[in-house]
Amino acid sequence: MGCCLLSFVGYGLVVNTPGLYYAILSKQLGVSRTQIALTSTIMNLAGAATMLFSGKLMKRVDSRFLLSLCIGVCALIFFGQSFFTQLWQFYISFALIGVAYVIPITLAPSVLLSNWFERQLGLVMGIALGLSGLGGMVFNPVVSSWITNLGWRPAYRLTALLLAVCILPFSIFVLRFMPNESKGERMYGASTAQEPATDESASTQGQTTASRPGIAAKKAYRTPTFLLLIACYVLLQWATGMVQHVSGYEVSRGLSLQDGAFVVSGIMLGAAIGKATIGIFLDRLKTELVLVVYSALGLAGWALMIFLVSPTPASVAGFLAGLGQGVLLVALPWLARQSFGQRDYAEILSILTMSGVLSVALANTVNGTIFDLAGSYIPSLIVNLACYVLALIAAIVAYRLRPLKSATEIA
């Protein structure tokens, strides 16, 4: 439940809604839309830098304190933004949000679920991470309504309140890094030979992760599988960077802004369903087959978006493109867990995720530049097709070369 809220409320508000303020802030502050949109790039770059050490931090600091602190900081910053009057204040605040949000919202759901579930890991990861897309669908119209009817300042305050009220009770009292054996807790599906470690303190948390099954991070970084997974994150996050431009792309082809938003909603719905269902299939079907099917769906979605101009068919294409995001947001963290085990999973996943965050930050700017130079987003869509093909090949090879073949191996 706690991880579901981190994805639904946390991702839905912190990641999916900042763009709703661009127009009103541009007008209020007297600056260009590009200057306001730079806040998103700043947030992603700060988040990527934080990923360098966030995995180690999760292993060493009590997760209840760490996650609560990060969510509290995000809530306080959103509340503070309601009083801002200068552009530089938003730049600094979004840099701080970038530092704070990546641990509880980007990293924690995958890491915590990995520590609590041996069996059905794909299923629970799919459900929890899939809710991030639904969060975007729910909170985009809600926050838009707040901005329209109440003003952007009250909207920021309500966002802060919602973050704190919905997430802090779970982060303070529920979300622990791993099962506590002294309280009779066990990882779901763990064998009797694989006893969970305690989580009594931050120091104990750091000591016990080394005894868990898996490969040390320093050794994992030198494997072909890790490098191939890096390539997958970079390629698929680059493709995701086009999502921010989809509405503008549809408008450039003669559709209304509302129609463009409808296509984006199709992508979000597809992403939610894709993330939820791919986890189920990863637990039950051959891994390579699941990767091929969902990559093909994503590939088809972006390809059809080139040709389909009418609102409804274009939204169907967006839905297919969204389904393909399940590979990036669920299958790749799942592959990392299967390849390297639990031991240093948080640290390994943080570096993998960092590469993807850097990629999407760059893609947002490059796609805009491509449109300025070519007068079309078609070249960007073609690049997306190549990204999906190359990422599929890299993911399959990474899985076949994975160094950890058994859940009980320790290197």
Question: By C-alpha distance, which of 346, 51, 108, 401 is closest to 214?
Answer: 346
> CB within 8 A of 246, min separation 6: which ones?
260, 263, 264, 267, 305, 318
- Give the separation between CA 107 and CA 4, rounded to whole angstroms: 13
* Least reliable range by pLDDT among 126-130, 283-287, 347-351: 126-130
Q: Which residue has the tokens 């509405």?
A: 247
pLDDT in tens, 313-332: 999 999 999 999 889 988 99
- Give the separation between CA 308 and CA 316, rounded to whole angstroms: 9
Are 327 and 384 within 8 A, CB to CB? no
Are 255 and 245 within 8 A, CB to CB? no
> CB within 8 A of 150, min separation 6: which ones?
158
Burial class of 185 by CB neighbour count within 10 A (0 to 12, 13 to 18, 19+)? middle
pLDDT in tens, 262-306: 787 888 889 888 888 898 898 888 999 999 999 999 999 999 999
Average pLDDT over residues 355-380: 83
- Give the separation between CA 411 and CA 397, rounded to whole angstroms: 21
pLDDT in tens, 90-112: 999 999 999 999 889 888 888 88
Burial class of 203 by CB neighbour count within 10 A (0 to 12, 13 to 18, 19+)? exposed
Backbone angles phi, psi at 108, to 5 degrees: -60, -45
Sign of CA dihedral 411, 103, 50, 70: negative
188: β partners: 117
* Secondary structure letter of residue 410 according to DSSP: B
Percent of the chain with pLDDT over 90: 35
* Secondary structure letter of residue 244 according to DSSP: G
SS3 for 259-300, per residue? HHHHHHHHHHHHHHHHHHHHHHHHHHCCHHHHHHHHHHHHHH
Look at residue 408 in the predicted model and tell me its pLDDT. Answer: 41
- Give the separation between CA 153 and CA 77, rounded to whole angstroms: 12
Q: How many CB atoms are located within 10 Å of the residue 149 CB?
A: 9
Note the pTM of the prediction, 2 decimals.
Answer: 0.78
Identify the structural domains of the chain with CATH numbers, from first to last. Answer: 1-180+201-210 (1.20.1250.20), 212-405 (1.20.1250.20)
Are 255 and 314 within 8 A, CB to CB? yes
- Give the separation between CA 13 and CA 23, rounded to whole angstroms: 18
Are 339 and 225 within 8 A, CB to CB? yes
- Give the separation between CA 151 and CA 362, rounded to whole angstroms: 31
- Give the separation between CA 212 and CA 203, rounded to whole angstroms: 15
Which runs of consecutive H residues, i.e. helices, occur in 61-184?
63-81, 87-101, 108-116, 121-149, 152-173
Greater model confidence, 52 or 382: 382
Mean pLDDT of the chain: 84
Average pLDDT over residues 350-376: 83
Long-range pairs of 368-373 with CB within 8 A, sequence gap ≥ 24? 368/245, 371/245, 371/248, 371/252
Look at residue 75 in the predicted model and tell me its pLDDT. Answer: 95
- Give the separation between CA 317 and CA 298, rounded to whole angstroms: 9
